[in-house]
Amino acid sequence: MTEIRSAGDMEALVQQWGFLPFFKNEIEGFSIEEHTPPEWWFGDSDGGEGWGPWDWKGPVARTGSCAYGKFFRKKAGFISLEWFADFANWRRDGYDFDARFDDELASYKDKELYDTVTRHGSLQTGQIKKLCGYGGKDGKKGFETVITRLQMQTYLTVADFDYAVDRHGNAYGWGIARYAAPESIFGYDAVTAAYGRAPEKSLERMLDWLQKRLPQATEKQLLKLLSI
Q: Are 87 and 79 in contact (CB under 8 A)?
A: yes
pLDDT at residue 48, rounded to an integer = 43
List of the chain residues with pLDDT < 50: 45-49
pLDDT at residue 54, rounded to an integer = 87
Strand partners, 180: 157
pTM metric for this prediction: 0.92
The DSSP string of 12-46 is: HHHHHHSEEESS--SSTT-SHHHHS-HHHHTT---
pLDDT at residue 169, rounded to an integer = 66
204-223 per-position pLDDT tens digit: 999 999 999 999 999 999 99
46-54: list long-range contacts, CB under 8 Å, 24+ apart: 47/5, 47/6, 49/6, 49/7, 50/7, 53/4, 53/10, 53/22, 54/174, 54/175
pLDDT at residue 45, rounded to an integer = 47
